[in-house]
Amino acid sequence: MSKYTNGSSHRNIDRIESISRSPYLNQGTTAPHSIRNALHTSGLMPFAVESVDQQKKRALAQLRSKNTDLEKYIFLAWLRNTNVSLFYRIVIGELEEITPLIYTPTVGTACLEYSHISPFLAPPGIPDGLYLSLNDLPNLTQIIKTYRPYPYDDTLTPQIAVITDGSRILGLGDLGVNGMGIPVGKLQLYVAAAGIDPRRTLPITLDLGTNNEKNLKDEFYLGLRSKRVDDDQFYSFVDAVMKSLLKVYPELLIQFEDFSSEHAFDLLSKYRENTFCFNDDIQGTGAVVLSGFINAVKLVEKDVHPTRHRLLFFGAGSAGVGVAKQLLEFFKVEHGMSEEEAKRLVWLVDTKGLVTLDRGDNLAKHKVYFARDDNDGNQFKTLEEVIEYVKPTALIGLSSTGGVFNEKIINRMAELNKNPIIFPLSNPRVNAECTFEDAMKGTDNRVIFASGTAFPEYTVPETGKTKYPGQGNNMYIFPGLGLGAILAKPKVITDKQIYISASALSTSLTEEEKSLELLYPVVSRIRHVSAQVAAAVIVETVEEGLARDKQIIEMVQKDIEVLKTRKGKEWDNLVKFVQENMWDPDSEKFFNTEELLSKSKM
């Protein structure tokens, strides 16, 4: 006989057990004795009932006692998988310290080690994310339906899925199923930075094999031990996953993440017109760099007219081309340039040198749009040669090639420009094209800088003045973009929503941040910034007639003109509305002791 057919008292015991073991509902050492009695957990921990502050203090002390960032990552994963509220309380309270531990750079180290560490990240039965392998093809819908990260809390359906196939994890290449750290990390930022309910997030890794020999030879590698499938199998598997996902969760927002570039572009163009989805590396990165670029343009405006910029992209993959396309929109929208004129401001470099139409190789589809045809037959192989030819005002690194912006390159940028814009955006830190310190030293401290992974501030020895690097990472965009879309409920994500998220991020800086010449707001403000990005996305969605949430349509439509200015009390009210809809580990709305007690008696 099944345990569920064994009478109501057994059902109640099952329920009590799943509440007390739920990483979401259990309160650990802060649970009052009334709760411990009701949940039959008295005696399972020492007598003391401590305050939330004390519980946080202990967790932080433990975290800080670890010797390496990977140990900290493992500790934090365990904490998240055993006590959700405590984990997010410390993340939200210490964003600057903890973001680099759950996201880039440490998530890169964790992904490299994922098969070695993942069995130790959570208690049995608590999954880190959903793995879907080629062998699951006949059962996809059933597997998706039964995936339950937190026992008991199964009434809430996921709102956002981040999905990867592990084929291009940060700048680390093909990591196969070890890429799971990325969807897991991104979704933690959705919770911490934008207040998506953690129970409504769905990290997914597709296992279609790996071409990573190191993984294939690693005795502990946990994915399929075969080479990646061909394109036909790839696209039909992804299609089957998409269909099953949307069958089970029709309203789900899907974020494509860290797919190899050609697949990334193809998947986006295949699904974007009819599915609620976006690609973070192409569109999220495009938006975050656009935002930093808008602020950089303002800083150098007195020396370089905005339409006179010359943008050199080192790296022509999903991120490089995605960013170039987004910057093109800026020149068109803000400066009235034609598409052809704006396109002329962009030069791409890949492993073969300057991307030109007459280079003699078969260009990948996504490179053709920006391939130059005005090079008079000349080909430029090295970055030095291209810099001499282009004389860029901005050098943007999305190549995963650590240190390639060497002293000579940085010095040359400083000779060519009063304030060179240098963005080494590759992740994790070891893959950044240069460090902030090198960029400062190589430009007599004149650089306008943003990197994908945070670098420490730099104090100029001669003046004692401290300068702060920008962090041009899509974490400033995707949480707010996703939250705005989830609230407004359009059926698709449009280019205009992406553009507006960049614009809203660029105007979200405080006067103090502007006075420090920052390109991005400080990370500790990311929750407020995401609310602003979300509010702007909501307004744009209503403006485009795509919003489907009645309350939002009513609220926004009547004040739409003033809301578009992102100023005034109407704007403040909309941001407040967004904030009220954000999940918060300290809110009674989400953790209510009385409710817990009544649930245990049901």
Ligand X SMILES: NC(=O)C1=CN([C@@H]2O[C@H](COP(=O)(O)OP(=O)(O)OC[C@H]3O[C@@H](n4cnc5c(N)ncnc54)[C@H](OP(=O)(O)O)[C@@H]3O)[C@@H](O)[C@H]2O)C=CC1
Give the interface with ligand PYR as residue ranges (CB under 6 A): 104, 170, 258, 280-281, 427, 452, 473-474
Please provide residue 449's backbone torsions phi and psi, each rounded to the nearest 5 degrees: -130, 140
**Residue tagged active-site, from 73, 88, 103, 150:** 103
**Residue tagged active-site, from 72, 114, 131, 186:** 186
Site for ligand X in 464-483 (CB under 6 A): 472-474
Closest CB 508 distance from ligand X, rounded Å:
17
95 vs 535, beta carbon nearer ligand PYR: 95
261 vs 295, beta carbon nearer ligand X: 261
Buried b (16+ CB within 10 A) or exposed e, 398-411: bbbbbebbeeebbe
Q: Is 425 in the site for ligand X (CB under 6 A)?
A: yes
Instruction: Name the CA dihedral angle for 71, 73, 79, 80, rounded to a multiple of 10 degrees.
Output: -170
253 vs 582, beta carbon nearer Mg ion: 253
Q: Judge whether 473 is annotated as a binding position.
A: yes
C-beta of residue 272 within 8 angstroms of C-beta of residue 180: no
C-beta of residue 196 within 8 angstroms of C-beta of residue 160: yes
Closest CB 358 distance from ligand PYR, rounded Å:
31
96 vs 572, beta carbon nearer ligand X: 96
As a whole number of angstroms, the distance between CA 40 and CA 63 comes to 29
Please provide residue 537's backbone torsions phi and psi, each rounded to the nearest 5 degrees: -65, -40
Q: Is 258 in the site for Mg ion (CB under 5 A)?
A: yes
As a whole number of angstroms, the distance between CA 269 and CA 406 comes to 36
Cis peptide before 105 (omega within 30 of 0): yes
Closest CB 267 distance from ligand X, rounded Å:
13
Closest CB 572 distance from ligand PYR, rounded Å:
31
Measured in residues, the chain has a length of: 602
- Rg over alpha carbons for the chain, rounded to the nearest Å, is 25
Q: Is 128 in the site for Mg ion (CB under 5 A)?
A: no
Look at residue 363 and give its three-state secondary structure: coil
The DSSP secondary-structure symbol of 317 reads S
The binding track of 378-407 with respect to ligand X, each residue x by CB under 6 A or -, is --------------------xxxx------
Whether 103 sits among the annotated catalytic residues: the reply is yes
As a whole number of angstroms, the distance between CA 394 and CA 306 comes to 12
Cis peptide before 100 (omega within 30 of 0): no
83 vs 474, beta carbon nearer ligand PYR: 474
Q: Judge whether 257 is annotated as a binding position.
A: yes
Closest CB 200 distance from Mg ion, rounded Å:
21
Whether 302 sits among the annotated catalytic residues: the reply is no
Q: Is 317 in the site for ligand X (CB under 6 A)?
A: yes
Q: Indicate the helix (H) or strand (E) that contains 211.
A: none
Nearest to 482 by CA among 84, 200, 249: 200
Q: Please identify which residue in the block is written with the tokens 């409504």.
A: 200
Q: Which residue has the closest beta carbon to ligand X?
A: 317
Site for Mg ion in 390-429 (CB under 5 A): none
As a whole number of angstroms, the distance between CA 591 and CA 364 comes to 51
As a whole number of angstroms, the distance between CA 246 and CA 160 comes to 11
Among 160, 312, 349, 390, binds ligand X (CB under 6 A): 349
As a whole number of angstroms, the distance between CA 19 and CA 157 comes to 18
Task: Locate 262 and state its tokens.
Answer: 């050609």
Site for Mg ion in 84-123 (CB under 5 A): none
Residues 6+ apart with CB under 8 A from 57: none
Closest CB 431 distance from ligand PYR, rounded Å:
9
Q: Is 286 in the site for ligand X (CB under 6 A)?
A: no
As a whole number of angstroms, the distance between CA 138 and CA 175 comes to 25
468 vs 520, beta carbon nearer Mg ion: 520
Q: Which does 532 bind (CB under 5 to 8 A by kind): ligand X, ligand PYR, Mg ion, none?
A: none
288 vs 596, beta carbon nearer ligand PYR: 288
Q: Is 174 in the site for Mg ion (CB under 5 A)?
A: no
As a whole number of angstroms, the distance between CA 284 and CA 286 comes to 5
Total residues contacting ligand X (rule CB under 6 A)? 29
Q: Is 354 in the site for ligand X (CB under 6 A)?
A: no
Residue 143 buriedness (CB in 10 A; 0-12 / 13-18 / 19+): middle
Closest CB 573 distance from Mg ion, rounded Å:
34
Closest CB 398 distance from Mg ion, rounded Å:
11
Q: Judge whether 427 is annotated as a binding position.
A: yes
Q: Is 351 in the site for ligand X (CB under 6 A)?
A: yes
Q: Is 168 in the site for ligand X (CB under 6 A)?
A: yes
As a whole number of angstroms, the distance between CA 348 and CA 378 comes to 15
Among 174, 197, 350, 540, binds ligand X (CB under 6 A): 350
Nearest to 414 by CA among 390, 454, 436, 441: 441
Q: Which does 288 bind (CB under 5 to 8 A by kind): Mg ion, ligand PYR, ligand X, none?
A: ligand X
Q: Which does 83 bind (CB under 5 to 8 A by kind): ligand X, Mg ion, ligand PYR, none?
A: none
As a whole number of angstroms, the distance between CA 13 and CA 87 comes to 27
As a whole number of angstroms, the distance between CA 573 and CA 564 comes to 13
Q: Is 281 in the site for ligand X (CB under 6 A)?
A: yes
Of 193-201, 205-213, 239-247, 258-266, which segment contacts Mg ion by CB under 5 A? 258-266
197 vs 258, beta carbon nearer Mg ion: 258
Task: Locate 270 and state its tokens.
Answer: 């295949």
150 vs 313, beta carbon nearer ligand PYR: 313
Angstrom CA distances, 231 to 108, 208, 236, 263, stand at 26, 11, 8, 9
Closest CB 505 distance from ligand PYR, rounded Å:
15
Please provide residue 470's backbone torsions phi and psi, each rounded to the nearest 5 degrees: -85, 155
For the annotated binding site, the residues are: 168, 257-258, 281, 427, 473
Provide the annotated active-site residues: 103, 186
- Annotated binding residues for a divalent metal cation, written as ranges, equal 257-258, 281
- Footprint on this chain of Mg ion (rule: CB under 5 A): 258, 281
Which residues form the interface with ligand X (CB under 6 A)? 168, 170-171, 261, 281, 285, 288, 315-320, 349-352, 398-401, 425-427, 431, 452, 472-474
The binding site for (S)-malate comprises 168, 427, 473
